[in-house]
Structure 1
Amino acid sequence: MTTLATALLGLAGASPAIAASGGASAAPSAPAAASPSAPSVTSVACRSGCRTGGAVARGGTITLHGQRLDRATAVVFLGGIGPRDDVRVAIRAKSAARVDVKIPATAKSGRIALASSAGVAAQTSAAPLKVTGAASRQLSTVTEPVEPTLKPVKGIAQLDAGIAKRKVGKAGVSAVTIAYVSHAPEQTVRVDVVRRADNLSIFSDERTVSGEEQQTLTWNGRGASALALDGKYDVRISTGGSPTGPRSAKFDVAAAGGAAPEGTPPPTGSTSLGAFTFVGAVFPVRGTHNFGQSAARFGAGRGGRSHQGQDMMARCGTPVVAARGGVVKMRTFQAAAGNYVVVSDPVTGQDHAYMHLRAPAVVARGDTVETGQLLGYVGSTGSSTACHLHFEIWTAPGWYEGGRPIDPYATLKRWAKLG
């Protein structure tokens, strides 16, 4: 998910009604005191149609996080100065904490506001939301799953369930969230993630639950020591087993450099909640790019030393995302590398370095990031003569901690095919 915090401050304050618009050229006014019962927004994030510089395309989707959002009746895109270009979008938030809003085709850059049935509005206090042309799937980075919609499970009495997918690229999914509620006084429920290639359950969670208590779990393809193989999977649910408490199948590293979770077939009579295509990695440059000439390759001469990564040429401002999820090990500036960030994958033990970013990475040291999550934007900081991303892969135990850099070219080409 692309966070817009740097381009759009959280909504704050309230006024009796939406009477005037605030555009980019208007000086921000101090917000009025917020009503304790008014809906309020604490952050805004891009879900789809994300553009460079924090902009969102028309037809894209933003997520508002906040409080009492279920009391809001509309989001108003205020555009420029005056009410003539205001665009109101009716909403019906199911959650008090978040709501998704599609950018209308007629919306213009400017502040946004919330309206409630009482006519109370909460308006942005500073920078406007940047709205650009129609959305393009090619530049979207990652779509966070909304809360699963629960529906009665076919063939299983007194059980509602649903899934939500965390999408990356055009068709891949890096994680699924599963939720269910039993309406029986007590019921043993089992959830399996089944690999379609061999019908083996490579993850299972089984627990005895009390009635009307929602259960939620997430599968992201990661085990204690390996990643699940890329491919098609199915989420299945069943009841009536022996309660064992939450558990997951064992993951073992495959000989071919990947990861092959071991498993057993799902219980007979289990019901599918939905299928998806799992991808454990994505290409880090989310836009038009090329791999440059011979000087851009790993091992090329660099004035008495060797090039330790692969350069990918792209326009400055092109989004850079985490090729694989992990923990941010380093985020800083260095004279040669410019603005850079290093993400450590706790499963494979490898580290990935992203260098010459346009500005400091949008994540912080110690943060956990997901596959496809925005890290920053292509730049030319440090020792650089053109806009590009310098990307490195370090073997375990990692970046300047006993590991060594390896040629990432073949891996990057494979990730490019995943989208």
Structure 2
Amino acid sequence: MSALAAESWTWFALCLFIVGCRLVSRILLLGSPRQLQADDGLILVAMGTYTALIVCINTVARSSSNLINPADGPIQFTPDVVEQRSFGSKMVVVSEQMQLITIWLIKGCLLIMYGRLTTSTKQSLAVKLVAAYVVIGFIVMEILYLGVWCRPFDQYWAVPTSNVQCSAATNHLIINAILNISSDIFIMAIPMPIFLAARLPLKRKIILCGVFGLGTFSILSAILNKFYSFTEPFGSAWVFWYVRESSTAILTANIPFTWTLLQRTFNIGSFAGSSRGRSRTTYHQFNHSHSTKNATMSRKATRPDDLERNESQEQIVPLEIWQNVQLSVQTSAAVDDKKPTATVTETGAESISDAKSDTSKGSNSDDLGVPNPGAARVTTTCVHGPE
């Protein structure tokens, strides 16, 4: 087995495992395979094109194409040589298309996820602008590759070819590098304000940094595969980086969605580090200044079983309020014409966790439910009129 085959199929097995974990995790979270969403479907399509890429790229490594190395000297274009090089050139075209489609499908999955995560108008606008850039960039790149750079189209596998753009594809590689790398940077920049503002434990932040590290490696792979395509067009280094870029992109898009499965398997807490309490308690205490009698009452509200939420990284919880309130009531006798008065001082702290939810659709599929604590203090003065 060649080095490329060993590495590429290892990447494939890892990506297949992570995508499988993602789908199981999503089904556990959403309750049914029918509840899977658009980005889940795109991931399945991306795995199909990624599989085709791995098969074709290994075929390319074993074949010759119409990109002829001058160092090889004059080549006798016998029918067998032409047929072999023509087949290899077709595999290059198919590999390029599978790689492009895989990468851009992953971009779409990430943008859909970020679209659910963003709540502010500015963040939503940023997602829409980047999505427009990604879609338009892909369309322009495909039009140029399929209809402009190499005409007629069958020159892509002609042996020998009359146009260097049909074999080296220099113009296409330049456009691809610009659109691919720039859109990756834009996509990675979108969630930064969300994660920087999130109050997460250190371990959780380290996990997020690891995921972003994979995204950074994917960008580095895109840079290196273009670098070797330009500097060593007759070598094989660029093929390895094609595989690494696509593989790390798939891992980056799927690892964040495996938290529910990890939580169920290893019985760990929520990604945001919130407690697993299922009850809320409110206390009211009344102290009367003219009496030694104290009355205390408590009320306990328990969440019904059918409303129990999954403490998942991918769960965005609805509004929840925890309140601890003490009421102190003091009254004084009437003086002359004045009315008796009572002063009620209510003190307490409320911890409010508010996150984006969509209960009307019956699905909560975002990645992080991050608590947003707040506090409140209320003082109320009551006047008791004559009986």
TM norm. shorter chain > 0.5: no
Higher relative contact order (CA 8 A, sep 6+): 2
TM-score (norm 1): 0.22
Q: Which has the higher helix share?
A: 2
Q: Max radius of gyration: which structure?
A: 2
Q: Which has the higher strand share?
A: 1
